[in-house]
Amino acid sequence: MADFRINLEARMTQNVVMTPRLQQAIKLLQYNHLEMVQHVQEAMLENPTLEIVPDSAGSEPDGERELRERAEKTTTDDLAEQRNGEEGSLDWEKFIEQIHDSGPRIHGATGGTIHEDLPPIETNLTYGESLAEHLLFQLHMIRCGDDEGHVAEAIAHNLDHRGYLVMPLEEIAAECEVELEIAEEALELVQGLDPLGCGARDLSECLIIQARQVFPEDDTFERILQDHLGNLERRNYGAIARDLGLEQEDVIEYHKMIQELEPLPGRSFTGDDARYITPDIHVVKRKGEWIVEINEDGMPDLRVSRYYQTILKKASKTDRDYLLDKLRGAEFLIKSIHKRRKTIRSVMESILRFQRDFFEHGVDRLRPLVLQEVADAVGVHMSTVSRVTTNKYVHTPHGIFELKFFFSAAVKQQSGGDMAAEAIKSRIRALVSEENTKRPMSDQSIANALKGEGIRVARRTVAKYRESMGILPSSKRKQMF
């Protein structure tokens, strides 16, 4: 018979417990340069016991130095006011009250300025117009029925980033509670707006809409785009010419004009701005030696305020507990920042030793490397190296690279050695860029060319690397004109 009695039993077990401060230290290790600068700024706003070491940010332009001196003077005046004119004393109630009262203003500035009465900067920012907004503006200028206009607005809001309508028209008609015929009229209305081609269901329809407007007197474009889009993609001009009764030279001319149409009419509204990268590390060569420099722009040295240390003796118990918590937090943050800087430097110096040929000669000399090799060399866990190398960039004489770039799988060579996959990709990219566009290299031709350079890879491997780099196959790279 089963025994269902409840007993008390004492056991000793070991568990890994991550304290909040340990979690903070790990999070700091994952931050890139810009995130770290922002975190330090926020920490200084939240912790009054943190202060900047004077001149720790290096040389400053005259204008910035003048602004800093004004800010320091304002801070000194505020501190004197908090002391009520008495040296060494502090009105804690007033101080804490001012911290809470100034909460909404902390993110804007650290002290009073002449611009306090102006509206926030967010009200003066301008944003790019979306595709839906661009279409809706035009719709509001057109006279149409209420139901038709309602459906047209629904269509404009359901276009994807390409400008295509991916939602079935029947569903839009059902949601708007109108007949399918009205929805079709609304779709035709949207397709006639700028940019031409918006509202199309596929590439063929998108190009046909534009061809009807650009070449209204020639229906051959529509026949080609309707029935032979695949042949155009494969440059099979002979099949198109035979089916439509045209000369092959005429088909090539039609293809030239079709290439002037826009296959993605919504692309100019996607807002894909250029991405600017601030490197976390600089690797430079000076007097024949490679040097690792950590980017410290905007990262001042911090220290624990001596003022708040001195008032601990005179503070009440509640204030003392508050100050002790802030002082310990400030000290831990400073130590964590120094340890983060030391770890990043050690990892980058280890990568530099392993990949010295890359820094000397370029990507073609990149060698295979795994995280464990660097972790063993630095004396840390592999997860630490992974955190350090994620979302951090290094500026080198050959360009800016993410630290993960230097870790590449090994490809066995016939000679018995290994070669980094990234180095092979670099050679494939170079061969494609130098090829004859009228007779592009096939994957097998690229594999043969690499074999002639002593790099032995299979055709399947070449195809896999080519696709990962976004390079089209030879049939689609071929240019007939």
pLDDT tens-digit readout, 19-73: 677 777 788 888 888 889 999 999 999 988 888 888 665 444 444 445 445 544 5
Task: Determine the Cα–Cα distance for residues 389 and 295; give it in Å rounded to an integer.
Answer: 15
Tell me if 336 sits within 8 A of 80, measured CB to CB: no
pLDDT tens-digit readout, 330-376: 888 999 999 999 999 999 999 999 999 999 998 888 999 999 999 99
pLDDT at 124 over 50: no
pLDDT tens-digit readout, 128-153: 678 888 999 998 888 888 889 899 99
pLDDT tens-digit readout, 197-251: 999 999 999 999 999 998 888 889 989 999 898 888 888 888 999 999 989 899 9
Q: Which of 105-109, 186-190, 296-300 has the lowest mean pLDDT?
A: 105-109
* pLDDT given at position 22: 72
Per DSSP, the residues of 47-62 read -TTEEEPTTTT----H
* pLDDT given at position 235: 84
Return the structure tokens found at 191: 């397709």
Task: Determine the Cα–Cα distance for residues 407 and 423; give it in Å rounded to an integer.
Answer: 11
* pLDDT given at position 2: 59
* pLDDT given at position 354: 93
Enter the pTM of the model: 0.60
* pLDDT given at position 272: 52
* pLDDT given at position 115: 44
Total H helices, total E strands in the chain:
23, 8
Q: Give the mean model confidence (pLDDT) for residues 414-433.
A: 82
* pLDDT given at position 191: 92
Burial class (CB in 10 A: 0-12, 13-18, 19+), 251: buried
* pLDDT given at position 119: 52
Could you tell me where the DSSP H helices lie in 270-369? 306-310, 317-354, 356-361
Return the structure tokens found at 204: 């063929």
% of the chain surpassing 90 pLDDT: 27
Per DSSP, the residues of 113-139 read -TTTTSPPGGGG---PPPHHHHHHHHH
* pLDDT given at position 373: 92
How many whole angstroms from its chain centre is CA 277? 9
Per DSSP, the three-state class of 152 is: helix
pLDDT at 257 over 50: yes
* pLDDT given at position 359: 93
Task: Determine the Cα–Cα distance for residues 179 and 260; give it in Å rounded to an integer.
Answer: 36
Name the pLDDT band for 472 (thresholds 50, 70, 90).
Answer: confident
pLDDT at 85 over 70: no
* pLDDT given at position 277: 82
> Cα torsion for 321, 322, 323, 329, to the nearest 10°?
100
- The per-residue pLDDT of the chain, averaged, comes to 81
Tell me if 374 sits within 8 A of 307, measured CB to CB: no
* pLDDT given at position 105: 41
The domain 410-477 is placed in CATH, from the list 1.10.10.60, 3.40.50.2000, 3.90.1150.10, 3.40.50.300, at 1.10.10.60
More confident site: 27 or 261: 261
* pLDDT given at position 282: 94
* pLDDT given at position 231: 87
